[in-house]
Amino acid sequence: MTARSLLLATALLLAAPATALAQPNEDSIAVPVLRANVVVEGDIVRIGDMVENAGPASQIAIYRAPDLGTTGSLSTAQVIAALQAHKVIGVDTRDIKSVSVTRPARTIQSKEIEAQVAQALEHRKGLGDAANLSLTFDREVQDVRVEASNTDPLQPASVRYEPRNGRFEVSFEIANEASGTRTKLRFSGVAIETAEVAVLSRNVERSEVLKSADVVTERRPKAELGGDVALRGHAVGMQMRRPLRAGQPLKIADLAKPDLVQRDDNVTLIYETAGLYLTMRGKALESGSDGDTVSVMNLQSKRTVTGVVIGRGQVAITVATPRLPATADATSTTGAIEPAAPVSVATSNNSETSPKAE
């Protein structure tokens, strides 16, 4: 062997291990694998979303993402064709027939939006509590979907209200912790402050006593009601001072305590003092409610006396206890009913006992 041949053989021997190390080991290469279910955030679907171990091609966009809060489906053949167009080959499909792509979302209910708008307008330029505001939006408020990463609450960014016409414009921002961007929402319409009021459910006449079925509670614009509104709890059981039609709101001035004694009705006169309780028949000369002082006629003596209405058809007669006068010409108290003689009780075969003082 010549020196030249020896040198060539030595060079080949030294080069052999280096060549073996330079060759890739197929067992160490991760095979790209197709995913059956994909969840994406944002507007696009990338190769890395669809395929595991996609390598440098992971960030390549191949599809538009489905709408927020929805799921779309692609056949495996469609996906493989899109991958091959970007030189991604040898993907293990694992016999998957189709790939589903879901884009999660946070849903903000329309009722929540309306409540947030009312809260933003509360006590602004003369408006009252949010619970008393009636909102009419320029466009019907529907549920709003935003990216699932928009986890922060709605924050008012701009609030405008014009008292002259009730117009409002409210803008909200929702922070996105993942991207740092903010989602903006804007709403406009008319805000009116309302108040609860008792409303008649039927036509009523003067002197009628309102029953539970006659009165309902409604909300009406506060500017139309004034400060004399009656609530349902106060109206039921009260007596009408004037006739009103169904649908009209009730005011305190429309109501009075119901008459427990009606003029010309027969009533029971009651005289009660220590150790003595007497009743007699009488006739009401005027109407009165609980606590009113009315004139009545004692049907036995035919004398007119005054008493206090204490119940339906019942009048309490008060007889003042005689007092010694301070001077010789002192007179009794005005309005007191003093018998001309001491009250005596006569009994008969009748069960009723009547005082003869009256």
Cα separation of 186 and 181, whole Å?
17
Specify the pTM.
0.60
Amino acid at 79: V
Cα separation of 88 and 79, whole Å?
11
Residue 197 sits in the same domain as residue 249: yes
- Domain assignment of residue 219, yes or no: yes
Confidence of residue 348 (pLDDT cuts 50, 70, 90): very low
Q: Which tokens belong to 152?
A: 């922060």
Looking at 240, 256, 272, which one is the last position of a domain? 256
Give the angle 239-222-214 at the CA atoms, nearest 5°: 30
Cα separation of 76 and 102, whole Å?
16
pLDDT digits (tens, 9 = 90+) for 249-304: 999 999 988 888 888 889 899 888 887 888 889 999 998 888 889 999 998 888 99
Torsion angle, CA of 70/92/79/37, rounded to 10 degrees?
0
Average pLDDT over residues 336-345: 40
Looking at 222, 237, 256, which one is the last position of a domain? 256
First and final C-alpha spacing in the chain: 165
Q: What is the pLDDT of residue 276?
A: 83
Confidence of residue 170 (pLDDT cuts 50, 70, 90): very high
Q: Is the pLDDT of residue 172 over 80?
A: yes
Average pLDDT over residues 185-198: 96
pLDDT digits (tens, 9 = 90+) for 202-220: 999 998 999 999 999 999 9
Give the angle 69-154-134 at the CA atoms, nearest 5°: 105
Q: What is the pLDDT of residue 259?
A: 83
- Domain assignment of residue 165, yes or no: yes
Q: What is the pLDDT of residue 319?
A: 67
Cα separation of 42 and 179, whole Å?
10
Can you list the pairs that 38-45 forms with residues at least 24 positions away whose Cβ atoms lie under 8 Å? 38/99, 38/100, 38/101, 38/102, 39/101, 39/102, 39/103, 39/104, 40/65, 40/101, 40/102, 40/103, 41/103, 41/104, 41/147, 41/148, 41/149, 41/178, 42/147, 45/101
- Domain assignment of residue 70, yes or no: yes
Q: What is the pLDDT of residue 336?
A: 42
3-state secondary structure of 87: coil
Residue 309 sits in the same domain as residue 192: no
- Domain assignment of residue 210, yes or no: yes
Q: Is the pLDDT of residue 20 over 80?
A: no
Question: What are the DSSP calls for 235-279, one per residue?
Answer: HTT-EESS-B-TTPBPBGGGEEPPEEE-TT-EEEEEEEETTEEEE
Amino acid at 112: E
Number of domain units in the chain: 3
Confidence of residue 321 (pLDDT cuts 50, 70, 90): low
Q: What is the pLDDT of residue 30?
A: 86
Q: Is the pLDDT of residue 97 over 90?
A: yes
Token pair 């039927």 is at which residue? 202
Please report, rounded to a whole number, the percentage of residues in the chain having pLDDT higher than 70.
80
Q: What is the pLDDT of residue 198?
A: 96
Q: Which tokens belong to 98?
A: 């189709």
Looking at 210, 227, 256, which one is the last position of a domain? 256
Chain mean pLDDT for the chain: 82
Residue 206 sits in the same domain as residue 294: no
Residue 194 sits in the same domain as residue 206: yes
* CA nearest neighbour of 294 among 314, 319, 321: 314
3-state secondary structure of 282: strand
Least confident of 97-106, 189-198, 324-333: 324-333
pLDDT digits (tens, 9 = 90+) for 73-91: 999 999 999 999 999 999 9
Domain that holds residue 52: 31-103
